[in-house]
């Protein structure tokens, strides 16, 4: 069974600094997709970034980048130039090989940005 | 604007009572999902439906029921058999495509509490 592990329950970062949120996954599939979502205190889930297992380049979306190390089965999220509005829960998720299979989520990391 | 609407935002259940959480989408997505979120637990899958009139149990389906009579609607009933229903419930849908477009779209959630 697929599993996502996020080992950092909480993280602090100074405003304008970069921060890395860790995510490792366990799967025997060759084809899969990896996602990061942000959940502010309001509760909605905001899609941030996607990485396909066959993508050769690391995904980037504005201040977000995904450090994808396939051999290590890690998909860490890097947030550059942190802002106060980045304070939220962050979830890593994986879509297994079958396109219809639901996403599997990690337990999340709470990021707090300090002024 | 296209999106997913969950209602109510807050819901209270009395002992022995069934309650139904509404989820409606106008994104024309075939697949819909219900996740439960508890503090420190991440998102856990309750039920999902890939097409109208069909649905499958997720990891924690006991004490819950669903229906999918229309493409737009996927209501979740929390039955009296669910002994610990207090949680944040998120509904999501997904387009039938691969890559970044297979990301989940989420509603704003329903917080269910027991009186």
Per-residue HEC secondary structure of B76-95 comes to EEECCCCCCCCEEEEEEEEC
pLDDT at B22 > cutoff 90: yes
pLDDT given for residue B96 in this prediction = 75
Compare CB distances from B41 to A33, A99, A107 and report the shortest one's residue.
A107
How far is residue B98's CA from residue A63's CA, in Å, rounded to a whole number? 24
Residue of A nearest to B6 (CA): A44
Q: Do the Cβ atoms of B89 and B70 come closer than 8 Å?
A: no
* CA neighbor of A61 nearest in space, from B40, B30, B13, B103: B103
pLDDT attached to residue B88: 97
Q: What is the pLDDT of residue B109?
A: 96
Contact A88, A65 (CB under 8 A): no
Name which of A61, A66, A102 to mutate to probe chain B: the one with the most chain B Cβ atoms within 10 A of its Cβ: A102
Test A102 with B48 for CB contact under 8 angstroms: yes
Q: Which of B35, B42, B102 sits opposite A33 (nearest CB)?
A: B102
Over range B61-70, report the average pLDDT: 97
3-state SS assignment for residue A84: helix
Percentage of residues of chain B with pLDDT beyond 70: 96
CA distance A20 to A111: 10
> Exposed, middle or buried: residue B65 (CB in 10 Å: 0-12, 13-18, 19+)?
middle
Question: In angstroms, what separates the C-alpha of B30 from chain A's closest C-alpha?
Answer: 10
Average pLDDT, chain B: 92
Nearest Cβ partner for B99 among A50, A103, A105: A50
In our burial notation (b when 16+ CB lie closer than 10 A, e otherwise), range A41-67 reads eebbbebbbbbbbeeeeebeeeebbbb
Residue A97: the pLDDT is 67
Contact B31, B39 (CB under 8 A): no
Give the residue ranges of chain A where pLDDT is below 70: 97-100
Query: How big is the A-B interface in CB pairs under 8 Å?
Result: 54
Counting Cα atoms < 13 Å in the Cβ hemisphere of B78 gives 26
* Spatial CA neighbour of B104 closest among B96, B92, B88, B89: B92
pLDDT tens profile B68-110:
999 999 999 999 999 899 999 999 999 877 666 678 999 999 9
């Amino acid at each position: 069974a697929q599993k996502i592990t996020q080992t950092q329950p909480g993280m602090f970062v100074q405003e304008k600094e970069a921060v890395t949120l860790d995510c490792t996954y366990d799967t025997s599939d060759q084809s899969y997709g990896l996602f990061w979502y942000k959940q502010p205190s309001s509760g909605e889930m905001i899609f941030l970034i996607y990485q396909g297992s066959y993508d050769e380049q690391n995904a980037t979306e504005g201040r977000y980048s995904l450090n994808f190390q396939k051999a290590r089965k890690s998909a860490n999220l890097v947030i550059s130039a942190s802002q106060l509005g980045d304070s939220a829960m962050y979830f890593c998720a994986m879509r297994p090989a079958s396109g219809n299979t639901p996403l599997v989520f990690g337990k999340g990391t709470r990021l707090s940005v300090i002024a | 604007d296209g999106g997913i609407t969950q209602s109510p935002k807050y819901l209270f259940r009395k002992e022995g009572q069934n309650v139904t959480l509404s989820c409606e989408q106008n994104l024309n997505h075939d697949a819909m999902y219900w996740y439960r979120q508890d503090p420190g637990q991440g998102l856990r899958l309750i039920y999902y439906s890939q097409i109208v009139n069909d649905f499958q149990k997720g990891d924690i389906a006991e004490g819950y029921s669903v229906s999918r009579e229309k493409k737009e609607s996927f209501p979740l009933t929390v039955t009296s058999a669910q002994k610990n229903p207090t949680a944040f419930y998120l509904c999501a849908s997904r387009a039938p495509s691969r890559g970044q477009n297979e990301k989940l779209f989420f509603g704003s959630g329903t917080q269910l509490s027991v009186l």
